[in-house]
Amino acid sequence: MGQTVNIDDFRAAMARLAAGVVLVTAHDPEDGPRGEDVGMTATAFMSVSLEPPLVLVSVRIGSRMDDLLERQERWAVSVLSESQRHIAGRFALRGRISDRLLFEDIAYYRGEESGAPVLGGALAILECETEQRVPAGDHTLIIGRVLTARTPSADGGPLTYFRGRYRYLG
């Protein structure tokens, strides 16, 4: 039997992989007459394939986003800029009941393909449709086909995360 890694060693090693930070969003159509928007800060996001264009996000099983993406196949990703650190912070809080107030003072618009809120001022916006859900340990790998990809705000650096802290490039 293979040796099992110490979980703290594993965490520490992965914390040294510098990552860009994204906000995954989706619209929950079942939540009341107006519906509700949900967001989740994520670093486990990557490009998978060019033809067809696929991306992947790893979402913790039991998280609100995991539950929502079981019902809502369209979602969006906003690649955060360095000026959006406060947004990353608020959408990472555990145990939230509603995200309604969290979107209130944020400049966002609704993606045409996904109906999901997408952030003004993000470095890039992708709208996706789930192709595959792959259970992987305590996370679900959600593979999405990219429906639209835009780079509305070319200026400014990315928000990154390294060794447990948000960082800026340059």
Nearer to ligand FMN, 61 or 112 (CB): 61
CB atoms within 10 A of CB 75: 27
Longest dimension (CA), the chain: 53
Task: Select the residue whose beta carbon is closest to ligand FMN and give its number.
Answer: 44
Contacts of 105 by beta carbon, 8 Å cutoff, 6+ apart:
none
Nearest approach in angstroms of CB 11 to ligand FMN is 13
Q: Where are the beta strands (DSSP E) in 21-92?
A: 22-28, 36-42, 45-49, 54-60, 74-79
Nearer to ligand FMN, 3 or 16 (CB): 16
What is the binding site for ligand FMN (CB under 6 A)? Answer: 21, 40-44, 58-60, 63-64, 91-92, 94-96, 161
Nearest approach in angstroms of CB 162 to ligand FMN is 10
Residues, the chain, total? 170
Nearest approach in angstroms of CB 63 to ligand FMN is 4
